[in-house]
Structure 1
Amino acid sequence: MSTDPANGQAPIGFIGLGVMGAPICRNIMTGSGRTMLVHDIGAERVQRLAEKGARPVADPAALAADCGTLFLSLPGGPEVEAVLTGPGGIAASARPGLTIVDLSTTPVGLTRRLAAELAERDVRFADAPVARTRAAAEAGTLSIMVGGAPELFAAIRPLLALAASEVTHCGPVGCGQVAKIMNNMVLFQTVVALSEALALGEAAGMDRALLFETLSKGSADSFALRNHGMKAMIPDSFPLDAFPTDYARKDISYALELARELGFEAPGATLAEQRLAETSAAGYGREYFPVMARTVRQR
C-alpha cells in the first residue's frame, strides 16, 4: 500500500461514480485533501473525477490493494457482491487491514454474509447507505446510516461527515441497511398515498397545487409531500435517472425480502411494489419514481 506524500495517510478508494457516487467522492476527496483512487465502468465518469484531481485505476482489485479505506457506491446487491467476491473481485486479493464502506443499498442478509467473509480475511466492513436527494449529495448534506462495530464507526465517521450533515450509527453490521430499507419502504408507501390523494382530489374538482399546499399545512405534511409531491408530482416533471422507478422497485424488493426472512407480512410494501411495477411496465422505468402518480391517475 502506498502512502499519500501530501499528508502521510493512505489514499482513499472509490468505486462507482454514478449520480450519487460522483458527488460523494468529490466531497470526500476535496474535504480530506487525500489522494483519491477511482474506478467505474463508465470512462466518462472517471474522466470527470480525474479532472477534479482523482487518480483513475482500471482494476478494482488493484485499487483496493493501494488504499486504506475503500468506498463502494453501486446500483445494488448483485453489483456489490460481484465487486467484492466475484471473479477478480476485491476479496481474493484484499490486503489485511483494509476498510470497506458500502454506500450502496444492499439486502441485509447479503450485507452480513459479505461482512463475515471479509472478516475472515481481516478486512473491516461497514454498511453505510445514503438517504436524501441528488441535490443533497452535491451539497454534502446527505443522511448516512451506518452499520458496523463502534470502533469502526468512529474511524470512518470523519470521512462520511464530509459528504453528509447527519451520520448515524444504527448498530451492528447490516443495521445501516435495515434503516435505509425501512426509510425507503415508508417513502414509497407515502408516495402511493400522495398519488391516490392527487388523483382523487383532482377528480373531485380541486386544483392539484392548492390540494398539496393545503395538505402541507395539516397532519398530512411530510418530506415526501414537500419534495416528491410539490417539486415533481404537481408540475408533472420526472427527470431521467434521478432515483428511477426501477431503482425504487429494487429497494422495495429488499424490504419484502427482509419481511419474508423474518416471517412478517407487509401489505403496504406489497402495494407499493405493485404500483412501482405497473409504472415500470408503462414505460417509466428510468423516470424519477414519483411518476407513479401518472399510472395511479390512469387506473
Structure 2
Amino acid sequence: MTKARVGFIGVGLMGHGMAKCILAKGFPLMVLGHRNRGPVEDLLARGASEATTPAQLAAQCDIIFLCVTGAPQVEEVLRGPSGILSAAKAGLHIVDTSTSEPTLTMALAAELAARGIAFCDAPLGGTPVQAEEGALSAMVGAEDAAFAVIEPAIAAFASRIVRVGAPGAGHTMKLLNNFLSLGYGAIYAEALALAAKVGVTPQVFDSVIRGSRMDCGFYQTFMGYVLDGNVNAHRFTIANAHKDMRYVTNLATNTGAAAFLSATVKNLYAAAEGLGNGGKNVPQVTDVVAQMNGVATVAERKAAE
C-alpha cells in the first residue's frame, strides 16, 4: 500500500526525532526549512526533501504535522504569507502536535471541515530522547475518518496513542497533563525551600520521596537538577511552562470554571519568567523560590559542598 506523503513543520527539539522516525518507517517526508540548519540537513541526508514555504507542503503532502511553540505560531503557518491554507486542497489532513489553545483547535477544525480539510490535534507526552526513539505518547483529537488516515503516521513516533475525542480534546487533555506536571514542579520547589528553612537537605528530602508513592518520572528528572545541578535533566523552558499555564487559565476562563490552583501555578512561572529566567528549564524554578525565601540556590549549595 502506498504510504501517505508527510510534511513536517517544526523540526526542532522534539520535531527532529519525530520526523526521523517518520522517515525510518518509510513515509515520504518533506520538511519546512528553518534557520537552524542542523536538524534540516540531517533529515535531508536521511532522504527527506525540503520545502521553502508551508504552501509548498500543502500542495505536495497528504498529511502535515505541526510541531511549533503554540497557538500564534499555528495560526501563522496556516494563515500567514504562503501559509498552508493558501494552497490546501480537500483531502489534506493537518495534525497539530503543539501545545495549543483547544478553542482555536475546535474553531479551525470546524472552519476547515467546510473545505474538506481535516484539522486534528495530537499533542505529545515524553522527552526529546523518546521522540528520537519513537516512544512518545500522543493524545489525539480527531473525527473517525481522519483518525484512520493519520494514525499510521503518528505510530511512527508514538508507541502509545490514545484517542481522547474530537478535535480540541487532545489539546485539552495535554493542558491538563501539563497542569499536573507544572503544578508538581511548583510544589516541589516550595517544599524544598521549606525544607531548607529547617535544615533538611535535598538529599534527605529525596531519600524519603524516591521510591515512595509520591515518586514519579517527572519527580526524578526534576530532582536531576536539584541533586546534581544538571540543567538539562528536564528540558522544558520556564517560558513554555508560563505559556502552557496561560492556556490552562484561559481554558478555565472560557468554560467558566472555578480554578484556584492553576492561577497560582501560572503566576509562579510568570514571576520566574519576569525575573529573567524564561530560557531556563522548569526545575530551575527551584532557584527562584529559594531566592524568594532567602535560602541557597542549587549553584550556591553546590559551591559550598
TM-score normalised by structure 1 residue count = 0.92
RMSD: 1.7
Decide which moves more: 34-43 or 232-241.
Answer: 232-241
Quote how far apart the aligned CAs of 1:269 are. Answer: 1.1
Residue 111 of structure 1 corresponds to 105
Secondary structure of the 1:192 match is helix
Alignment CA distance shift 1:151-1:157 (3 Å): same
- Verify: 1:98 aligned to 2:92, yes or no: yes
Contact 1:241 1:287 (C-alpha < 8 Å) held by counterparts:
no
Q: Tell me which of 196, 202, 205 is aligned to 2:199.
A: 205
2:298 is matched with none
Cα distance in 2, alignment partners of residues 180 and 261 from structure 1: 17
For structure 2, the 5+ residue unaligned runs are 293-305
Question: SS of 1:199's equivalent?
Answer: helix
1:79 to 73, 79, 82: 73
Structure 1: where are the runs of 5+ without partners? 1-6
Q: Who is 1:276 aligned against? A: 269
Q: SS of 2:279's equivalent?
A: coil
Conservation of the 8 A alpha-carbon contact between 1:279 and 1:291: no
**Aligned residue in 1 for 2:295:** none
**Residue 219 of structure 1 is aligned with which of 178, 189, 213?**
213
The structural deviation recorded for 1:49 is 1.6
The normalised TM-score by structure 2 is 0.90
Q: Using the alignment, how far apart are the partners of 2:226 and 2:232 within structure 1?
A: 11
- Equivalent residue number for residue 234 of structure 1: 227
Q: Distance in 2 between matches of 1:36 and 1:23?
A: 13
Q: Is the 8 A contact 1:19 1:242 kept in 2?
A: no
Range 250-259 or range 130-139, more displaced: 130-139
Provide the C-alpha distance between the structure 1 equivalents of 2:11 and 2:234, rounded to a whole number of angstroms.
14
Which aligned pairs between 1:254-273 and structure 2 lie closer than 5 A?
A: 254-273=247-266
- Which contiguous aligned blocks of 4+ residues in structure 1 show a shift greater than 4 angstroms? none
- After the TM superposition, which of the residue ranges 281-290 and 59-68 deviates more from structure 2? 281-290
Q: Deviations over 1:150-184 (max 9, x none)?
A: 23223222221121121100001100001100000
Report the identity percentage: 34
Indicate conservation of the 8 Å contact 2:224/2:233, yes or no. Answer: no
- Per-residue Cα deviation, 1:25-61 (whole angstroms, up to 9, x for no partner): 1111112x12210004325132222122210111110
User: Is 1:11–2:5 an aligned residue pair?
Assistant: yes
Per-residue CA deviations over 1:57-79 (Å, capped at 9, x if unaligned) read 11110111101111111111001
Q: Does 1:41 align with 2:34?
A: yes
Deviation at residue 10 of structure 1 after TM alignment: 4.2
The count of residues paired between Structure 1 and Structure 2 equals: 291
| Conserved 8 A contact 1:81-1:114 | no
Q: Please tell me the residue identity of whatever aligns with 1:39.
A: L
Aligned counterpart in structure 2 of residue 150 of structure 1, from 144, 148, 157: 144
Deviation, 1:274, is 1.3
- Tell whether 2:188 aligns with 1:194: yes
Give me the whole-angstrom Cα distance separating, in 1, the residues matched to 2:233 and 2:42: 20
* Structure 2 CA distance for aligned equivalents of residues 126 and 109 of structure 1: 13
Q: Is the CA contact (8 Å cut-off) linking 2:58 and 2:85 kept in structure 1?
A: no
